[in-house]
Amino acid sequence: MAAPDAVSSKPTVSVIVPARNEEPCLGACLESLAGQSNVSFEIVVVDDASTDGTRAIAQAVSSVRVVDAGPLPPGWTGKNNAMAAGAGVARGDWLLFTDADTVHKPGSLARAVSEARQHGASLLSYSPQQEVHSFWEKAVMPVIFAELAATYRPSQVSDPRSAAAAANGQYILISREAYHAAGGHAVVSSSLLEDVGLARAVKASGRKIFFRYGADAVRTRMYRSFAQLREGWTKNLALLFPSPGQLAILRLTEFVLIVSGFITAIAGFLRGHGKPALVAGILALIVYIFSLRRIRRAHFSWDANAFALLGIPVFSYLLLRSRLSHKRGNVSWKGRTYDSNTNPDEKGALVEQHSALESTTHGLSHS
């Protein structure tokens, strides 16, 4: 049941949850949202042609308004269409776009609005705490989020003087004024990386972004199987990094150096070749320490960080798979296939942003 604060003729925040076959996770998401306090809000679930129990779960929560995404317009992705439909009926001064697999901590919505105002930000985005349970989640997710942390540094994204622009689509709080001024989801209608695209549009309009790791506000479990993980990251990885092929080779080389170095060291000691074995072991250890330091910045548990060594070659595989899928213009997600070549400027914009960032900012650490 919704908190009394949620009832208002004109809510401060409209929480918009796009949902396509989200039966396993939607209930926990809506329960966490409906229990928010100290802020006036409404919850809008946009049913994107779900074929499971998604709609029934949403309708069972009395404070939730359920709307249909409607037919998919030519050139639009399903998620962008759903979010635009939600924004079209929203009444709040702020819009929170959040995924159905998120769980929100008590009081986090009010704190997010306050934090956005405190920083003078038109768009606030949290990178949620990532829940990982299976072996593959623990092995792969820390590697990917470590690379994201290095590529989209919150200190740079939040700096109006920096060219960096990013947001995490699992939690984007944006003022209604900034959303429409930037062009809304229509400006990123064909994008499979709509969160970064929307952030780029907001920053280009001269408005401020505030971006940080938000474990104190929201958590999520993105994927529940390796098949889901593979499909999801195949959709996004090639768009998230300016040179995915080079990055894949770099990380694969790193993995080979670590593993071969340790194997050479162990074999050398067993054969009595102490000095060469020691050198090989030390070199492998140095490379591993640098790798582990990078991965630890992604805020995962110690066991996930340990498994991450085995996730490095999988990350390289997913990067190359994503690059090939986008090159072919054939990307699948949630039962739909998109021609990724319909938005040829998206990749170029990321490379241009990355180049500008490298030339104007140096030495900023992840924060």
**Structure confidence by residue, pLDDT tens digits, 294-347:** 999 999 999 999 999 999 999 999 999 999 999 998 899 999 999 877 555 555
Read off the tokens for 150. 């290095």
Topology (CATH) of 4-132+151-224: Spore Coat Polysaccharide Biosynthesis Protein SpsA; Chain A (3.90.550)
Residue 270, number of CB atoms within 10 A of its CB: 9
> What's the pLDDT at 274?
80
| Percent of the chain that is helix, strand, coil (3-state, to 5) | 55, 15, 30
Please name which of 30, 76, 33, 70 lies closest in space to residue 53, comparing C-alpha atoms. 30
Taking the C-alpha atoms of residue 261 and residue 267, their distance in angstroms, rounded to an integer, is: 10
Read off the tokens for 331. 């990307």
Taking the C-alpha atoms of residue 296 and residue 313, their distance in angstroms, rounded to an integer, is: 17
- Return the residue matching tokens 């050139």: 75
> What's the pLDDT at 181?
97
Whether residue 196 has pLDDT greater than 70: yes
Taking the C-alpha atoms of residue 108 and residue 34, their distance in angstroms, rounded to an integer, is: 12
pTM over 0.85: yes
> What's the pLDDT at 173?
98
Q: Is the sign of the CA dihedral 287, 293, 297, 298 positive or negative? A: positive
Q: Among 24-28, 33-37, 353-357, which is the least confidently predicted range?
A: 353-357
Whether residue 354 has pLDDT greater than 60: no
Please name which of 139, 108, 112 lies closest in space to residue 125, comparing C-alpha atoms. 112
Mean pLDDT, residues 104-129: 98
Q: Among 70-74, 104-108, 247-251, 274-278, which is the least confidently predicted range?
A: 274-278
Q: Please report, for the chain, the start and end positions of each structural domain, with discontinuous segments joined by +.
A: 4-132+151-224, 244-360
pLDDT tens by residue, 131-185: 999 999 999 999 999 999 999 999 999 999 998 999 999 999 999 999 999 999 9
Q: Are 257 and 250 in contact (CB under 8 A)?
A: no
Mean pLDDT, residues 18-30: 97
Whether residue 355 has pLDDT greater than 80: no
Region of 46 on the Ramachandran plot (φ > 0 left; ψ -120 to 50 alpha; else beta): beta
pLDDT tens by residue, 259-279: 999 999 999 888 887 888 899
Whether residue 357 has pLDDT greater than 90: no
Q: DSSP string spanning 308-339? A: HHHHHHHHHHHHHHHHHHHHHT-EEETTEEE-
Q: How many CA atoms lie within 13 A of 262 on its CB side?
A: 11
What are phi and psi for residue 347, nearest 5 degrees?
A: -65, -40
The model's confidence at residue 291, banded by pLDDT at 50, 70 and 90, is: very high
The pLDDT > 90 percentage for the chain reads 85
